[in-house]
Amino acid sequence: MRKFCRSPHVSKGDIRNTGNVGIFTTLALFLIVSTINVLAQDVIPTPGPAKSVSIPAVKETKLKNGLTVAVVEKPGVPLVTAQLIVRSGASSETIKNAGLADITASMLTKGTKTRTAEQIAEEMEFLGGSINSGAGWNNSAVTIGITSDKLDQAMAIMADVVLNPSFTKAELDLLKSQAIDGLKFNLTQPGFLATYAASVYSFSEHPAGGTPASIESFTPANVSEFYSRAFTPNNAILLFAGDITSAKAMSLAESLFSKWPRPSTGSGRGSGFGDGSGLPTRKDIVRRILVIDLPNSGQASVNFFKPIESIGRASEEFYAASVLNSLLGGGYSSRLNQEIRIKRGLSYGAGSSFTWRNGKTNFGTRTQTKNESAAEVAELVVAELKRLADTTATEAELNPRKLALTGGFGRNLETTGGLAAALADLYSFYLPTNVLNSYMTSVGSVSEANVKAFAAEHLHDGDMIIVGDYSVFKDDLAKRFPNMKIEVIKADELNIESPTLRKSNVP
């Protein structure tokens, strides 16, 4: 062991003084660096130039039974993502059978006529791949990720899952039990409870994941009926992205899916639920306030929701909406997060989003805060929405938000999974695949005036939904919104199948 000794040429007093000089020097350097860091936080870095993205061509063909096969060749990394999507999801349901699309799609991987759920999972694990299935609002999908040398075996499993599901009662009961347990837990969480209620109250739809009552009611016959109606080749697209040639993809599609029978009637395309009608437009930001009283909740969830009936995913206004969302609530530097979290410390985060449909879009903002500050945060959200419509963002503020969008777009397309997901989105909305090539230009062309006009036209007459301990913020909410009627529903009384959202009024 080495011994550290004092130099014989230095006295004890010298050592003491030298140590003090070192401490003072270190402290001075720390203060200088800290001051520089504080000053630097006030200077937003200038964004770099936008990078170009090379998007491979999409090669598309159809089988005789109507199945569309789309291939994006992306050699270099030996990975392939294959996804079969059908253009039927939760939009094909009503509130009485809410969640049926997702349950049906999830059941596909729970057993076939020749494989059990365990065998499907074990075979995919043995191949070093993954298989997933589920449904959203606009589509249902089965997805595999696999190395290109194992693609043939993995595709055989996918085809079996899609074409030969068994829909056994035992697996359905297990899946229902898991879904209901998860849903019941989520319904104790303020943020989930707000969006759950908004699906009916604000958007005239229903929760895509279902309700406890709807899920409990499903039988194998219900699942089989939805599958027969939705999972048809003329309603489906088989996507390949990655290390695969179009010739190889077509060979696999022909050998595995060409015998999939085309139905004689119907495409299975959903038409949506609800007419979205509401109270007369007044051009106020908030038209209604709903409080879901959740006593003793740790936090309050504060949300603004607004359906926009006049535009859908195919609209050119999609790009103005995307840039607006990036500016308002699309990241750490967005206005909502800056105002609510960074400046005031009232939340860990605040954001916004658009969820797109074929003929409409649903807009929402979201944040969680202390119950004591729920009313203040609601007022701040309204102020930011009003600022969007009343003032024009500067190019210096808007340009970084557009670059954030195009940068994220480019990164997503670098992976086979991201590329397949982008294509699935386009096919679900019946959009041409060349839309990918125009995305960056379309985002870049959105002006400050476009964003202001979009906000002024669409982001008013929405619903403020707050979930939390009402007794804590009741007086402050009434003070900050003195001319608004505040509707209050106890959380344990909530039933979205009721016309009044209350259990006591279920027909």
The pLDDT tens digits for 316-357 are 999 999 999 999 999 999 999 999 999 999 999 999 999 999
429: confidence class by pLDDT, cuts 50, 70, 90: very high
Under a CB-based contact definition with an 8 Å cutoff, are residues 375 and 479 in contact?
yes
Residues 239 and 331 placed together within one structural domain of the fold: no
Give percent of the chain above pLDDT 70.
85
* pLDDT computed for residue 109 by the predictor: 98
What does DSSP say about strands 486-490 and 286-293: parallel, antiparallel, or unpaired?
parallel
Residue whose pair of structure tokens reads 């949506």 in the numeric block: 272
Residues 340 and 462 placed together within one structural domain of the fold: yes
48: confidence class by pLDDT, cuts 50, 70, 90: low
* CATH code (residue 222): 3.30.830.10
Torsional sign, CA 117, 118, 124, 125: positive
Under a CB-based contact definition with an 8 Å cutoff, are residues 492 and 292 in contact?
no
Q: Which of 107, 129, 121, 157 is nearest to 416 (CA)?
A: 129
Q: Which of 306, 339, 343 is nearest to 321 (CA)?
A: 306
What is residue 111's three-state secondary structure? strand
* pLDDT computed for residue 450 by the predictor: 97
Residues 328 and 392 placed together within one structural domain of the fold: yes
Residue 27 lies in a domain: no
User: For residue range 218-258, what is the model confidence (pLDDT) as tens digits?
Assistant: 999 999 999 999 999 999 999 999 999 999 999 999 999 99
Q: Which of 276, 487, 286 is nearest to 385 (CA)?
A: 286
Residue 253 lies in a domain: yes
* pLDDT computed for residue 93 by the predictor: 95
443: confidence class by pLDDT, cuts 50, 70, 90: very high
The pTM assigned to this predicted structure is 0.86
Q: Inform me whether the pLDDT recorded for 22 exceeds 70.
A: no
Q: What is the mean pLDDT of residues 37-64?
A: 69
Residue 274 lies in a domain: no
Domain coverage including residue 129: 58-257
Residue whose pair of structure tokens reads 């729970």 in the numeric block: 110
What is residue 189's three-state secondary structure? coil
* pLDDT computed for residue 63 by the predictor: 98
